Amino acid sequence: MKAIQLISLQHELGMSIGLDLHLQTMLKEFTKVCIRQLGLVSVHYYFLQVEDGDAVLPNTDDKAKIRHLLSIPKKSESDQGYELSSAINKILGDGNKHFSTRNKETDEYIYYLALDNIGIIALHKFHTPIDDIIFEVLTPILKKLTISCQASIEHQHLLHAIEARKKAEEAINHLAFHDELTGLPNRRLFMDSLTKELSRSQRHGFLGAVLFLDVNRFKVINDTLGHATGDQLLMTIAEILTSIVRTEDTVARLSGDEFVIQFSRIAGNYSDARKAIQSVLDKIHRVFSEPIRAGEHLLHVTLSVGVEIYPNGNASADDILHHADTAMYQVKTHSSSVSLFYDKQLSADLTLRLALEKELRVAVKNPEQFELLYQPQYTANGICTGAEALIRWNNPDRGVISPAIFIPIAEESGLMLAIGQWVTRQACEDLEGLIKKGVPKTFNKLSINVSPVQFSQENFVPSLLSIIKEKSVPPEMLGIELTESTLIKNIGEVVDIISELREQGITTSIDDFGTGYSSLQYLSCLPIETLKIDQAFVRNIHSDIGNRAIVDAIMALGNSLELNIIAEGVETGEEFACLKNLECKHYQGYFFDRPMPYDNFLTLICNNSVLS
């Protein structure tokens, strides 16, 4: 009977081991059976290596390190294994399998049993000792428990390692797909998500959009306020953009001050999609009309935004991003608006622009591709009193290209200074030729157009003077034409430069007059000589009452300031007649002559002199 009881005890204890691979759970299962079958009060486990409350496989025999791991029921303060240290010595040191103590007063027994290489288990019992025979039954059980504990610890260790590795991988993943500064998805993740969204939208017929946003003048902020402020600004912008969009939309930072937003499933048709995006653009615009905090600074920040709605034919995710970028670039360089929707023309424009810029760089090194044409200026009775030099670019592949197209490109790409130098030098050389040929007394002046880029150069005046000197032409026969936009900047400086030129004999005309915003007062400060009425006001002046009123006013203004006035772009006899009626004195336009090559101009001037 006793034998059967022992076998069943052994069986039940054995069964409770290793049911759960988790160490603590397994020990709890085992302990429950122990307590029930052996009539214990509590069971305590002490392990050789315990870190942060978890058992660890011991790698040294650092016995002093033995620590409490678990008590069931939960250990109370008074219940410290008071004989633990001698138990450790006896069991782990002397190699005894078990060791027990008895408190006679309380009639309390504690049995310490070895868990080989792992630690000690303490059984706590009252009143009746545990039969020796039970310990024999327990011996194989403890062996099994030890092995299972080892397995559990290893298993747990493995789980920890896997967990840690997963975390590390996640961190690396995050770094690989996110921008470190703002935590936003980076280009890779963005393109990935856009590619998926694009094919989804193609399948389901929903439209989405990509916004390409660039912070205007970010470089200036970065350079003047420092990179730390620049970084803070970027972080704030990232937060703002994220707060504006829905959770299903993706805000990403591509690089530097470039952000993109992908809006998925915004509408079922193009016009609704445009409306939806327009309202987002309005929102962005509203938010950015307030100053933005970057560290200790409050900054006014504007964005240039390009938009592409997708799907767009077979355009790939790369194409879509490129289109949005193209539209943004257009906003940045040309448009007065803050955002633009992409259309095919933009891409064609940009491609042509980039090609022209490249070719213009070649032309600057081979200036024979440039030519100066001359357009004569006449008095009402046909005397040629001057001429304007107008540049042409004879592009070897594309033919003649208008300055209206390539001058803005030259100005933006830094090529204008070289081109301006060439113009000045060529005009002086031509003037020199003209003088040599015997220029008529009625011919006063050759004018060149000066770009704001040239005018704002510190060495503008000395460099102009040195060319005049080099070609030994009389400075009073050279004039410069400036547009109002050149003059609007810093009045004091502008007045100084124009005065300096005037002292040297070089006169200044204001070009395209009426299209800028020069105030009367402003105009009266400037030591200029001539106003050129913009051809837009000359157009149909005989029938257009508005234009006539404007020209009339400009004439009155010019006369009161004792300025010369030239009407530009006179195309017809009617326009000429009307201007003559308004007592305009000087004319330039197709009605008289188109801009012509130098040789033709030379011939014309000589004949004109004969006529007069």
Residues that bind Ca ion (CB under 5 A): 449, 481, 511-512, 568
- Alpha-carbon distance of 533 to 516, in angstroms, equals 11
Q: Which is nearer to ligand C2E, 308 or 484 (CB)?
A: 484
Of residues 520 through 579, those in contact with ligand C2E by CB under 6 A are 535, 569-571
Strands (DSSP E) contained in 493-556 are: 507-513, 530-533
Select 423 or 526, whichever has its Cβ closest to ligand C2E.
423
The nearer residue to ligand C2E, 81 or 514, going by C-beta atoms, is 514
Output 295 or 403, the one with its CB closest to ligand C2E: 403
55 vs 494, which CB is nearer to Ca ion?
A: 494
Q: How far is the CB of 416 from ligand C2E (least distance, A)?
A: 7
Of these partners, ligand C2E, Ca ion, none, which one is at the site of residue 473 (CB under 5 to 8 Å by kind)?
none
* Largest distance between two CA atoms of the chain: 149
Which does residue 571 touch among Ca ion, ligand C2E, none (CB within 5 to 8 A, set by kind)? ligand C2E
Residue 377 interacts with ligand C2E (CB under 6 A): yes or no = no
Q: Does 590 bind ligand C2E (CB under 6 A)?
A: yes
Q: Does 518 bind ligand C2E (CB under 6 A)?
A: no
Q: Taking the chain, what is the end-to-end CA distance rounded to the nearest angstrom?
A: 148
β partners of residue 375: 388
CB 386 within 8 A of CB 447: yes
Which residue among 387, 407, 533, 605 contacts ligand C2E (CB under 6 A)?
407
Please, what is the minimum distance in Å from the beta carbon of residue 569 to ligand C2E? 4
Q: Looking at 402, 490, 524, 607, which residue binds ligand C2E (CB under 6 A)?
A: 402
Q: Which tokens hold the place of 573?
A: 């006899």
- What is the nearest approach in angstroms of ligand C2E to the Cβ of residue 544? 15
User: What is the per-residue burial (b if ≥16 Cβ within 10 Å, else e) of 484-500?
Assistant: bebbeeeeeebeebbee
* Structure-block tokens of residue 301: 């920040």
* 81 near ligand C2E, rule: CB under 6 A: no
Residue 376's binding partner, choosing from ligand C2E, Ca ion, none, with beta-carbon cut-off 5 to 8 A by kind? Answer: none
Residue 423, interface with ligand C2E (CB under 6 A)?
yes
Distances (CA, A) of 513 to 78, 388, 516, 549: 100, 16, 7, 14
Please count the residues of this chain forming the interface with ligand C2E, following the rule CB under 6 A.
22
Residues of this chain, 488-517, that bind ligand C2E according to CB under 6 A: 511-512
> What's the rounded Cα separation, in Å, for the pair 60 and 62?
5
CB of 366 to ligand C2E, least distance (A): 17
What residues contact residue 587 under an 8 Å CB cut-off, 6+ apart?
A: 377, 378, 379, 380, 566, 567, 570, 576, 579
* Contact with ligand C2E (CB under 6 A) among 403, 408, 433, 516: 403
- Positions 114 through 143 that interact with ligand C2E (CB under 6 A): none
Tokens of 557: 């203004």
State the Cα angle at 253 between 250 and 255, rounded to 5°: 155
Please, which residue, 308 or 484, has the CB nearer to Ca ion? 484
Q: Give the dihedral sign, CA 96/98/102/106.
A: positive
Instruction: Choose the contact partner of 404 out of ligand C2E, Ca ion, none; CB within 5 to 8 A by kind.
Output: ligand C2E
Taking 3-state DSSP, the helix, strand and coil percentages for the chain, each rounded to the nearest 5, stand at 50, 20, 25
Question: Two tokens at 32?
Answer: 């429950």
CA–CA dist 237, 356 (Å, integer) = 35
Token pair listed for 564: 């010369």
Residues at the site binding ligand C2E, with contacts judged by CB under 6 A: 375, 390-391, 402-404, 407, 423, 448-451, 481, 511-512, 535, 569-571, 589-590, 595
